[in-house]
Amino acid sequence: MLTEKRSFAAGDYCFKNSGRTIPITFGYETYGKLNDNADNAVLVCQYFTGTSHAAGKYAETDLLPGWWDALIGPGKVIDTDKYYVICSDAISNINFNSPTVITTGPGSIDPTTGKPYGMNFPIFTLDDVVILQKRLIESLGIAKLRFVIGPSMGGLQAYLWAKLFPEAVEKIISVVATPMMRPSCIMVPNQLGIEAIMLDPKWQNGNYYGDDAPYKGLLLAFKMLLTATRTDHWSYSNFKRTFLDPTFITCANPYQSFSGRFLVEGEVEKSVITRMQFFDPNAYIYIAKANTLFDLCEPGETLKDALAKIKTPVRMIIDDSDLMFTREQSEEARPLFSDCDISYYNSRNGHLSCLFETDYLKEPLNRYISQ
């Protein structure tokens, strides 16, 4: 399945909490065909480090397809022979420097100064991301979505669709995300990742554009993220306590030097470096901040009262091994929704199973989509 990136000029947008107004543009992709009644549309929301490239390839020669290609396509679980599937780039997309990502973020040029926004970019929430998605959906002539779905941060956006635009979505399906952001998740990986970047001397209060970016801080932040989204089972089964170089020729003995390393350190760092070539550290800071600010409750409102207001059917798929969004949280939320069903699986490998072990998702997704 071949696809192409499109650009959506959302116009001037006033951010919900900051009150700042700036022009916003972001990218999106579509798969399948919108029917004559425009009533077969589905929105897929990106995860934290994801993009709108959820499925297909831009060219036959691409090495890899989109991140949920195993689930989206002709005859697949999210069947593009039946549904018109839309996925958009979030504002401040972390992959700001990728040629296939279109996003307005801190690295974008502020039209009032002619320089990158840097830390003058408005602090935003996922509410803003969803409100901008609604503008895109309306521009496509779609009044109501069959469902909104996404993993992790994408699941958080799905809950916000149920809160903010219940008339515009038939149901939501949240994958490895619960409707609350607990203090532990605020800290790890989000706030600690922000601080890791800011502590890098090259960060320069966010004014590093044109100079070396604070990639050491970004590397540490991303390693924190990867560690939080995996498990002891995953790390031990893959790396055990093996030294990075058991011969100690290319890497020192950890018992004799602080530069000595274990295999888990080297392999995690290698996988992180492979991913972060297009990352903008400031964009990481802003999207992490948006995650810490996720809250379905209005000021002074209890979670019970907030979830009771949501009448849109809610479907959750939770990995029992997830350290960030847990079964305990989902079971706390279940009775507070008017219509909620939850499916569980146990990959033993943690939060990122939603991207790398998608076979676990197929049965519950088939059931929830067909309901």
322 given a catalytic annotation: yes
Query: Of 314, 8, 28, 29, which is closest to residue 161 (Cα–Cα)?
Result: 314
Asked if 318 contacts 343 with a C-beta cutoff of 8 angstroms, the reply is yes
Check if the beta carbon of residue 152 is closer than 8 Å to that of residue 351.
yes
The answer to whether the beta carbons of residues 365 and 77 sit under 8 Å apart is yes
| CB-CB neighbours of 342 under 10 Å | 18
Three-state SS for 245?
coil
User: How far is residue 227's CA from residue 20's CA, in Å, rounded to a whole number?
Assistant: 35
Q: Catalytic one among 322, 330, 347, 353?
A: 322
Q: Give the separation between CA 14 and CA 10, rounded to whole angstroms.
A: 11
153-164 helix and 126-139 helix, angle to the nearest 10 degrees: 70
152 catalytic residue (yes or no): yes
**CA 359 – CA 71 distance, rounded (Å):** 9
Give CA–CA dist 66/87, Å, rounded: 11
Known catalytic membership, residue 211: no
200, 235, 330, 351: which is the annotated catalytic residue?
351
Phi-psi region of 177 (alpha: psi -120 to 50; beta: other; left: phi over 0): beta
For the chain, the distance separating the N- and C-terminal CA atoms, rounded to the nearest angstrom, is 27
From the list 52, 92, 108, 152, the catalytic residue is 152
Asked if residues 343 and 314 have their Cβ atoms less than 8 Å apart, the reply is no
85 beta partners: 31, 42
Helix or strand (DSSP H, E) at 341: strand 340-345
Catalytic residue ranges: 152, 322, 351
